[in-house]
Amino acid sequence: MSVTDKKSYALGIVIGADWAKMGIKIDIESFTKGFADTLNGTTPELTMSEIQNQMQLLQQEIQVIEKKDIEEEKQRGRQFLEENKKKPGVIETPSGLQYKVLRESIGKKPTATDTVEVHYHGTLIDGTVFDSSVNRGENIEFPLNQVIKGWTEGLQLMSEGSKFEFYIPSHLAYGDNGAGSAIKGGATLIFQVELFKVK
């Protein structure tokens, strides 16, 4: 396989992976022809109006699939939280935030406008780690009014020196948009947080 062949094949893999992940049905022969016609400067067999119309239909199909995926993710989160709140030591606030005290401490509690210094370990409900200052081996500082709602609410329950585990439903996390490739839209998140200092 030549360098050009490898490059072309790799591009096909990447494009194909995206469509396969979404479950979009594509006719490979037609796709290849359209791709080749564009690269070769051949006049398209569809008018620009027809192309735009097909792309709109494709976008609508993608939106339907994405909405379905988000609702399924939310449902998984709801089921998890429903079972989780029955476990010993788990407390649920009126907003739907759940937490468990891992280590209690007597010290200063932050307000929503304070900056805090913390260690945290974030996972999905299946245990997948998506972010962790613990794994990086470094504390992090941030203003509480510039993070997700679950953090803003949850950390105000903590005192310096304490360690909590938070179970954050999607409406208090990243909502339908998710965050990057690691956190899907509608995802419920779990964080272990150790509060070192309120600044």
What are the tens digits of pLDDT across the range 171-193?
999 999 999 889 999 999 999 99
Tokens of 38: 């564009």
DSSP conformational letter for 5:
H
- The alpha carbons of the chain give a radius of gyration, in whole angstroms, of 23
Closest CA to 183 of 145, 148, 139: 148
pLDDT recorded at residue 146: 94
pLDDT recorded at residue 170: 97
Tokens of 108: 């200063």
pLDDT recorded at residue 1: 82
Catalytic residue set:
120, 130-131, 148, 174, 191
Tokens of 45: 């067999």
Determine the 3-state secondary structure of 17 from DSSP: helix
pLDDT recorded at residue 36: 86
The values of phi and psi at residue 77, to 5°, are -65, -45
Cα–Cα distance measured from residue 108 to residue 160, given in angstroms and rounded to the nearest whole number: 6
The values of phi and psi at residue 15, to 5°, are -65, -45
Determine the 3-state secondary structure of 180 from DSSP: coil
Q: Are 117 and 197 in contact (CB under 8 A)?
A: yes
Tokens of 30: 């037609």
pLDDT recorded at residue 141: 95
Cα–Cα distance measured from residue 26 to residue 31, given in angstroms and rounded to the nearest whole number: 7
Is this structure's pTM higher than 0.85?
Answer: no
Q: Quote the distance between the C-alpha of residue 44 and its chain's center.
A: 38
pLDDT recorded at residue 21: 75
pLDDT recorded at residue 9: 86
Cα–Cα distance measured from residue 10 to residue 164, given in angstroms and rounded to the nearest whole number: 45
Ranges of the chain whose pLDDT falls below 70: none
pLDDT recorded at residue 181: 83
